[in-house]
Amino acid sequence: MPQPHLRTVVVLAAGEGKRMKSALPKVLHPLLGRTLLGHVLTAAAPLAADRTVVVVGHGAEQVRAHLTEIAPEATAVLQAEQLGTGHAVRIALDAVPEVSGTVVVINGDVPLLRAETVAALVEAHEGEGAAATVLAAEVPDPTGLGRIVRDADGRLEQIVEERDASPAQRALREINAGIYAFDVARLRDALGKLSTDNDQGEEYLTDVFGLLVSAGEPVGVHVAADHVETLGCNDRVELAGLRRLLRDRVNAAWMRTGVSILDPETTWIDVTATVERDAVIDQNTQLRGTTVVGAQAVVGPDVTLIDTVVGAAATVLRSHAVSAEVGPGASVGPYAYLRPAAKLAEKAKIGTFVEVKNSEVGAGAKVPHLSYVGDATIGAKANIGAATIFVNYDGVNKHRTTVGEAAFIGCDTSLIAPVEVGPGAYVAAGSAISQDVPAGALGVTRAPQRSIEGWVARKRPGTASAAAAERAQSASADTPAAREGEAIHGGAETVGGPSSAGDTATE
């Protein structure tokens, strides 16, 4: 009794990928948000397989650890020695003796494969009641690949590896993509009959087709509409080529949903990221991981966003963000660095050379220039002057700072945590604040200023500064103000006032 709804997926991922020349197993190389293996498993996911088996070998521990993260339901089966693709599938099926129905086998290194194509292959296979169906493609350059050999009536005769092929067979441009659907029972039977009588002395999965044909079993060929989907990856040059192809596919899909991508060749959007309608993505921009860019937001040029959410109509310019949230209408950059748990509320502004970490920046609050904001809560409409440092680390522990709603922090201020600046409070420029500033108060810690008259003439004689001072002094020597001047100016009352803080803060 055929049981078409029982499905098993087997992914072959034990090979070394020698030509990658990499400490990382080939199938773990990343490609726009997923590993090669992750892409293959994603393409197979809609099959809703009852069992998924991944054959691991080279770098088995790393591949197993990755599987635990991305596909905990999958079973990893160890192929200690890589004796061929047929051997690998045999070991996989030995681990799941109970399965029946259809088994889909996918080489681990075909990351551009789309779920629709796998589904169409399985549908054709099950619809025709075939013993085995191979995904084939017409390619411009078949070098190194197995060829589909058909008889005079166009029926599959066998699949021949290039190294075992005759010159006439090598001229064929229809290749085996390395993706197959099989009836499990007939596959098991054929796998038991594989020989190693070939150039590599391996058990070839592809030989199953010739064996089934000889036994009079029905086998099929399903031709992929787009051969690009079947491209494998053997070295890093090919990997870069696949990355460009996937980039173009992803960008085209977003543009068709109403996203403007101004320079698609320099825009790299992970397959796991989302961009909403009428967003504009400018040159040299990377949207990585689980990043979401909201409707009408403008991102770029020169922006990298990793696992970051950008709200509607926000702007992010020449900046880097990791695990951050940018509220609707907020603005970031140029040259800002948002670190994990930086959360900007609606219309907040983070400006130039500003770093924000683990902090909430309230609605409409501004941190426009040259500041570090760490472990802080900044209230709505607060204004943080240039070169404000939230001093969050005492060498052992991190502490929080709270700045109240509409508070005003003058430039070049240290807020030494734990500390709180109350709502509507001001802090004078140049202060080091280590005690709470009550709501509406002015916090100031500056030492009184002194101006020591004639210091340059006495201590730096003969310098350009001394000459400039002397010219200025002789030019103003006759003014009444100069004649009444004191030798030393300054006092606490001249530096602490709110107007002083305001004058020296920036907007």
What does DSSP say about strands 488-489 and 451-452: parallel, antiparallel, or unpaired? antiparallel
Radius of gyration of the chain (CA): 34
Could you say which of 9, 12, 113, 221 contacts ligand UD1 (CB under 6 A)?
12
For position 74 contacting ligand UD1 by CB under 6 A, the verdict is no
For position 232 contacting Mg ion by CB under 5 A, the verdict is yes
CA distances from 71 to 44, 152, 273, 371 (A): 12, 44, 19, 42
For position 31 contacting ligand UD1 by CB under 6 A, the verdict is no
Crossing angle (nearest 10°) for helices 184-191 and 85-94: 120
Tell me the β-bridge partners of 275: 293
What the block records as the tokens of 328 is 């609707």
| Amino acid identity, position 430 | G
Quote the least distance from Cβ 145 to ligand UD1, whole Å. 4
Q: What are phi and psi of 368, to 5 degrees?
A: -80, -30
For position 210 contacting ligand UD1 by CB under 6 A, the verdict is no
Query: Which bin fits 329, alpha (ψ -120 to 50), beta or left (φ > 0)?
Result: left
- Give the integer Cα–Cα distance in Å for 176 and 188: 20
Quote the least distance from Cβ 225 to ligand UD1, whole Å. 18
Q: Report the SS3 class of residue 255.
A: helix
Here's the x/- map for ligand UD1, 81-110, by CB under 6 A: it reads as -xxxx-xx------------------xxx-
Secondary structure letter of residue 155 according to DSSP: -
Cβ-based nearer residue to ligand UD1, 13 or 219: 13
For position 178 contacting ligand UD1 by CB under 6 A, the verdict is yes
- Give the integer Cα–Cα distance in Å for 185 and 365: 67
Residues identified as active-site: 369
Could you say which of 103, 175, 317, 373 contacts ligand UD1 (CB under 6 A)?
175
Cβ-based nearer residue to ligand UD1, 53 or 309: 53
Quote the least distance from Cβ 247 to ligand UD1, whole Å. 22
Footprint on residues 185-204 left by ligand UD1 (CB under 6 A): 204
Cβ-based nearer residue to Mg ion, 111 or 410: 111
| Partner whose footprint covers residue 333, from Mg ion, ligand UD1, none (CB < 5 to 8 Å by kind) | none
Give the interface segment with ligand UD1, choosing from 10-18, 114-122, 417-425, 496-504 (CB under 6 A).
Answer: 10-18
For the residues of 75-114, what is the DSSP string, one character each?
EEEE-SS---HHHHHHHHHHT-TT--SEEEEEETT-TT--
Cβ-based nearer residue to ligand UD1, 179 or 348: 179
**Torsion angle of C-alpha atoms 320, 322, 326, 330, degrees rounded to 10:** -20
Residues within the interface to Mg ion (CB under 5 A): 232
Residues within the interface to ligand UD1 (CB under 6 A): 12-15, 55, 57, 79, 82-85, 87-88, 107-109, 145-146, 159, 161, 175-178, 204-206, 232
